[in-house]
Every structure is written in C-alpha cells, then in structure tokens.
Amino acid sequence: MTQISLLTFNAFGILNWDTPFRLRALVHKLNELAPDIVCLQEIHQHYFRRMIVSGALRYSAAIYEPMLYRPKGGLLTLAKAPFTTTRFHLYQEQGRWASLNIMDRMLRKGMLFTHHEYAGLRMVVVNTHLIANYAANYIKGSPAAALQARQLRQLADVVQNLPRDVLILVMGDFNIPRHSWLYDEFLERSGMEDTLSGDQRPTYRPLPGVPARYALPIDFVFVRRPSAPALAIHSDLTLDKRLPLVGSYVNYLSDHLGILTTVAWTDAAPPAAEDASPTAPADATTDATSHS
C-alpha cells in the first residue's frame, strides 16, 4: 500500500506586522505534518516565499510563477519529491480595476500546475485561488458571481482537457460556498468530485469586524480519478488551532483553515515468472529478446 498526503492552505501572507510570526509558525507545522505536497495561496511577497522555502526543510522543490514583487497569483507549491513539469494558466477574467477586485488584478490570479509521479501513479496537482466575492452575493445574476462563474468555467475546461489516465487534484481557495450554484455547475462541467462533499464546516474564519455570515466552506480539494489504480481518498480540516507566535501573543495561522488529503492505493504486483514447460527437452535453449 502506498500513501501520499497533500495540504492546501490560504496562508494570509499579507503585509501585516504579525505575518512573519504566523508564517514561521506555519513552517514549523509543515515540518511537523510533513505532507508530500503543499499548495499555499496568498503568498504576497517574495520575502515571505523565501522565508517559507528556507524553513521548510523537508521540501526539495518550491514551484511558483515569478512576478515582480510576489509569486504570480500568490501561489506557491512545495513538494518533497522532484516534479516533472509545471506551468501557470492565467485566468482570463481578472475583474475590474475600479472595484474591490483591484487586489485580485494585482495578484494576477490563475492556476499553477505541477506534474508528479509516485509509485507508478501519475498526478497533476492544480493550486489555485479564485477571484473574491466581497459582498458574499452568490445568487445568479450578481456581478461578482458572474466573474467567478467565468473563472470556474475556464478552470473546468482546462481540467477536461487533461489526460484521463492521470489523477487530477484541484485545490485551493475558491471563494464560493459548497452547494452554491457555482459549485454545482463546476462539478458538472469539470467531472470532478469534492473530497469533503456535504461537509458544511466553514474553512473561512472571519476576522474581527467581519460579519459571521461570511463563515463558509470556501476552500476545496476536488479530484478526478483515473480508471486504475483504485484509490482511497480522504480529506479533513486542519491548521484550525491558535498557536503561540511571539512572546505571549497567540493567534491563528490564518483567516482560513487548511485541508489535508491522503491518497492511498495498492501497488500493482509484479508479473509472476512463467514456469518452464514440462515437455521441453532437457537440452533446449531459450532465446530471450528485450524490447525497449
């Protein structure tokens, strides 16, 4: 049995006085939990990226799309094992400059793809962070939901074009609630499944002053399984506790919770050696030909 683990977490890596302390504590938790692949969102500065990468000692690969001040889209993926290829897809819809979505435009949000292989299982991991819906208005016809729908349709179409014999995992901060029409449409269009389907525990923890109605499950791990091998996939929430950060200061690592996912499968047994034919003469010779 082979098992790997993946973590997605919006690290809230904004310019704030406590961010370096929170990210140092996050690095400690990454080294403790030791998931094989980590997908981080909201890494808003290269200084924060370097802090995480230098401290996360278990990870040989740190993947991001370079931009002037930050990783593009605020996305950073860490992996213990070397990855095979990577690419970044920019969302065509970035919102309007003259709106609250100006921060989304500045981040240049998109999808960070990494390709991996573990014990014969080929995987594509997509780290993503979708445009925010600041009014939490998810009804059809609302301008914010329309922007999100366009990004989700682009993401679903990209997933549909990925090879069918590969495990696809799409994870990150989607900024839409579970079982909204946006969520349902994405699942139908992409052909993916939600690893926490039906779980209504919030993954966003509103900061002081933010209305409680914003506490919703908006972070996800979606999967599309290959036909083989048979996979056991399990997700649960994590990074949900206050931690000592500096001095007597105790706080959460972020305004989001993480999702830790395990994928397990049984390795294919090697082919059994063929028995010699009982009718073969004693002085028979074998001509073996190798094909590469």
What pLDDT sits at residue 280?
35
What pLDDT sits at residue 277?
39
What pLDDT sits at residue 24?
97
Closest by CA to 147, choosing from 101, 97, 196, is: 101
Read off the pLDDT band of 268 (50, 70, 90).
Answer: low
> Each residue of 215-241: pLDDT tens digit?
999 999 999 999 999 999 999 999 999
Question: Are 134 and 95 a contacting pair, CB within 8 Å?
Answer: no
Diameter over CA atoms, the chain: 88
What pLDDT sits at residue 279?
39
Strand partners, 205: none
- Distance from CA of residue 163 to its chain's centroid? 18
Sort strands 243-246 and 232-238 into parallel, antiparallel or unpaired: unpaired
Which own/partner contact pairs does 245-248 have at CB distance under 8 Å and 24+ positions apart? 245/18, 245/21, 245/22, 245/24, 245/25, 246/18, 246/21
CA distance 49 to 70: 8
CA atoms within 13 A on the CB side of 140: 5
What pLDDT sits at residue 104?
83
pLDDT reading at 283 higher than 90: no
> Each residue of 12-50: pLDDT tens digit?
999 999 999 999 999 999 999 999 999 999 999 999 999
Rg of the chain over all Cα atoms, to the nearest angstrom: 22
What pLDDT sits at residue 262?
98
Element (H, E) at 125: strand 121-129
> Each residue of 58-109: pLDDT tens digit?
999 999 999 999 999 999 999 999 898 999 999 999 988 867 788 788 889 9
Crossing angle between the packed helical segments 181-190 and 143-160, to the nearest 10 degrees:
20
pLDDT reading at 3 higher than 90: yes
Span 181-207, mean pLDDT? 97
> Each residue of 122-180: pLDDT tens digit?
999 999 999 999 999 999 999 999 999 999 999 999 999 999 999 999 999 999 999 99
| DSSP structure string for 88-112 | EEE-S----SSSTTHHHHHHT-EEE
Backbone angles phi, psi at 239, to 5 degrees: 55, 50
- pTM, two decimals, is 0.90
DSSP at 153: H
Question: Are 231 and 267 a contacting pair, CB within 8 Å?
Answer: no
In order of start, what are the domains of the chain with their CATH numbers?
2-265 (3.60.10.10)
CA distance 221 to 26: 20
> Each residue of 196-207: pLDDT tens digit?
999 999 999 999
| Residue 172, burial from CB neighbour count under 10 angstroms (0-12, 13-18, 19+) | buried
